[in-house]
Structure 1
Amino acid sequence: MQPALELLFSHIDDIPRVPEVVKTLLDQVSDPDIDFKAVASNIEKEQVLAIKVLRNVNSAHFGLRKRVSSIQEALTILGMHEIRKLVIVTGLAETLPYLPNIDLNDFWQDSFRTASYAKWIAEQAQLGHSEMIFTAGLIYDLGTILIHLGEPDAASDITEAVYQGQDRLDSERQYLGFTSHEACAELCRQWQFPEELINTVEKSGEPMAYSQLSLSACAVHVARYVSQSTYSDEGEDVLLQTFPMQEWQKLGLDKNSILSSMATMSKSETGLDGLLD
């Protein structure tokens, strides 16, 4: 770990811990023979988490005709992807403390939107590991939380610099000596997440800066841009001028489909409403 990152983690009194069931689900993501009963049993061991997942399963978002009363039943009806993403976001949300300068509901809405877009992009690019990319999109910004926890003064300086028009990654390097993505990657190492996921998160801020290109990181990077564009009042010309074209084309996607693809992604729902109440 680089010294500046080590200093950050030393300043955090209570480093967030991830539930074991989340680690297990990440390890099982590529397993074609995954046992639904075993997964359900692992989730139900985390009682608070299981209750929140079931509450969301029974919400208006899914529109189920009858009430679901068990995780295994939810898995059967909704499938592994839906339950897995609910478990991961619920489990991670439980680890984060209150922060006065961050609206955690907005944070997770943005992260969930980025994750959903990243998965869609990965599928369009036929990358073959869209579930891992979804998770990377979900957690890529946890480094920002760590910075607010360990270096609150620097976090304020960075926020102000970005507000004044400075690039966020440049600001993070200026005030901290590392980026939020590098901080997130280190947290994922401490959580013993899969190496491919760590690599994707670490490179997602600036994929083209690395000698070994990660297409997964490209997908997350583009998804982040599209998610952020939902807050923008800029016209199509400006959005195209600032669009991460290199990453898009490295994914093998047509530059003429950018606007239609952004529109498709923006119309999709996150399904996060009510989960963090």
Structure 2
Amino acid sequence: MSIDPQLRSLNIDIPACPHTLVKLSLMMGNENAQTDAMAELIESDMALASAIVRTVNSALFGLLHRVETVHEAVRYLGMREVSGITYEMGLRAAFPPGPLIDRIWDRASRRGLAMGRAAQALDLPNPWAAHTAGLFAESGRAVLYAYDRERYTQLEERASSDDALIAAEVAAFGVSHAALGAALCQSWGLASEVGAFVRARPASLDDWAREPLEVRRLLAIGAEIDTALEPAEVPNPQGPALSAQRAELAELEIGQLCDALQRVCEVFAQREIA
């Protein structure tokens, strides 16, 4: 897919999608795709398969039995979650490591898994879109980090809020991480609603209201997941009202949304304690 020429003119590289993920993306969009074929595709990349098995055996997933192959991981977790891990590994490999970027991917891993499971608990039609939306939510930050590591690290450290960071990014680089993340989603062949989610994530609720329903639902779930997984030191007194507004925009019952998120986050909390 083509990238916005204005972004290309900035000379900021958008990493190409790894070949394995190109094929996997096509399979995930095919309702008749066989899980065995997907597992074999992933296992054809030995380094990727090894990283996935290692991740699946981590405390985050809480499996009672150690898995040895991607096929076993699919049997225990399902293809959506294993595919999500595959994309996470692809993202990590596409960018230089470092403390800031490692924190981005650690958040992405938890957010993606939680959003996918929340979407499933809410009986939404595409939990895979929710999972990938969570993974790619902050991916534009990784693009800017790879472009100018020292400068972007300084921006991150000085920014007092997400809005301040966006403004600093535009002033320094001529583009926000949200716009770059949406371009990365497009380049990697993700669903259009995933790119729209990444682009609109830092925007206001008024701007969210202009998005299609499927995007508004991703935005609402993502915002609630972020709040639940990384609560502020000083709780926002407007938090309950914001949650209600997000649920209304997403055309979800607030009680249903809160129940689904609570179940998902309780699982994460139990595993972190363990």
Give the TM-score of the pair, scaled to structure 1.
0.77
Partner residue, 1:227: 226
Pick from 180, 183, 187 the counterpart of residue 180 of structure 2.
Answer: 183
Query: Partners of 2:149 and 2:166 in 1: how far apart?
Result: 17
- Give 1:47 deviation, angstroms: 0.7
Partner residue, 2:67: 68
- Give 1:130 deviation, angstroms: 1.5
Partner residue, 1:87: 86
- Give 1:49 deviation, angstroms: 0.5
The verdict on how the C-alpha distance between 1:34 and 1:160 changes in structure 2, with shifts beyond 3 A counting, is: same
Partner residue, 1:218: 216
Partner residue, 2:207: 209
8 A Cα contact 1:122 1:216, kept in partner: no
8 A Cα contact 2:208 2:216, kept in partner: no
- Give 1:43 deviation, angstroms: 0.7
Pick from 192, 196, 199 the counterpart of residue 196 of structure 2.
Answer: 199
The verdict on how the C-alpha distance between 1:238 and 1:261 changes in structure 2, with shifts beyond 3 A counting, is: farther
8 A Cα contact 1:125 1:251, kept in partner: no
Pick from 108, 115, 124 the counterpart of residue 127 of structure 1.
Answer: 124
The 3-state SS of whatever aligns with 1:163 is coil
- Give 1:128 deviation, angstroms: 0.8
State yes or no: 1:37 paired with 2:36.
Answer: yes
The verdict on how the C-alpha distance between 1:130 and 1:156 changes in structure 2, with shifts beyond 3 A counting, is: same
Pick from 135, 138, 146 the counterpart of residue 141 of structure 1.
Answer: 138
- Give 1:97 deviation, angstroms: 0.7
Query: Partners of 2:257 and 2:49 in 1: how far apart?
Result: 39
Query: Partners of 2:83 and 2:152 in 1: how far apart?
Result: 32
Query: Partners of 2:238 and 2:18 in 1: how far apart?
Result: 42
Partner residue, 1:269: 268
8 A Cα contact 2:140 2:178, kept in partner: yes
The 3-state SS of whatever aligns with 1:169 is helix
Deviations 1:174-228 (A, max 9, x none): 4444321210121233333343433333333327426851334334433245424
Unaligned runs of 5+ in 2: none
8 A Cα contact 1:204 1:218, kept in partner: no
Alignment length, in residue pairs?
265
- Give 1:86 deviation, angstroms: 1.9
Q: Partner letter of residue 6 of structure 1? A: R
User: RMSD value over aligned CA atoms?
Assistant: 3.4
8 A Cα contact 2:201 2:219, kept in partner: yes
Q: Partner letter of residue 232 of structure 1? A: A
Query: Partners of 1:112 and 1:270 in 2: how far apart?
Result: 15
8 A Cα contact 1:43 1:71, kept in partner: yes
Q: Partner letter of residue 46 of structure 1? A: D
The verdict on how the C-alpha distance between 1:128 and 1:134 changes in structure 2, with shifts beyond 3 A counting, is: same
